[in-house]
Amino acid sequence: MITPDSVLAAWKTVRQDTAQAVEDCPAAEMDFKPARELMSFGEIARHILVAGYGVTGMLLDGVENMATPQFRENMQKYAAALPAATDASSLAAALRQSLEQRVVQLRAQPPEFFAHVVTRFDGQRVTRLEMVQMAKEHELTHRAQLFLYLRLKGIVPVTTRRRMAQQQSA
C-alpha cells in the first residue's frame, strides 16, 4: 500500500543516490552537457533541488492550484531559500538537507493533508500524496540523466557500484 511514509522513505533513498552522483562528479565536469541544448550536470542537479523543494513547499503552504501562469515564478520563491552555491559538495549537502527538512515537515502532517486534492501544474487533479510521489518520480528521471552523464565520463553510478558489491559478497 502506498502511504506517505513509504513514499517519503523511497524518496530519501533516491535523494541519497542523487547527492552521491553529484559528489561523484569531478568539479571540472559540473558544466558538462553532451549536447549544447541540454542542461549541464550541475544545472540538472540544481533543478532537482529546486523542483523538489518548491513543489513540497507549495503543498505545505496550502497552494491549491499549481496550473497558473505564475507557477515558475512561485517556484523561485522557494528556490530563494536554498543556498546559491553550485559546487559539488555544497550542492550535494543542500540536496540532502533540503529533503530531510521537507520529510520532517511532511511527516508532521495529518492523513487528511495527503488525501486533499489539488490541481497539478498540468491541470490534472491529484491528491497531495500523488504530488509528492510525482516529485520523487521527477527526481528519478533527472537522476537517470545524471547517471548517464557520469557514464559518459567513465564513472560508474552509485547504484551500480552497490549492486556489484552485493554480488561480490554473495
Domain boundaries, the chain: 4-169
Q: What tens digit of pLDDT does each residue of 42-71 get?
A: 999 999 999 999 999 999 999 999 999 999
* Of 142, 151, 144, residue with least CA distance to 25: 151
The CA–CA distances, whole Å, from 128 to 18, 116, 133, 139 equal 23, 6, 9, 17
CB neighbours (10 Å) of residue 8?
19
> Would you state the cell numbers that stand for residue 11, as one nine-digit string?
524518496
> Would you state the cell numbers that stand for residue 22, as one nine-digit string?
553529484
Q: What tens digit of pLDDT does each residue of 24-39 get?
A: 999 999 999 999 999 9
70-95 mean pLDDT: 89
pLDDT > 70 fraction of the chain, expressed in percent and rounded = 100
Query: Which CATH number does 4-169 carry?
Result: 1.20.120.450
> Would you state the cell numbers that stand for residue 81, as one nine-digit string?
531559500
> Would you state the cell numbers that stand for residue 5, as one nine-digit string?
511514509
The set of residues, in sequence order, having a beta carbon less than 8 Å from that of 34 and lying 6+ positions away, is: 149, 152
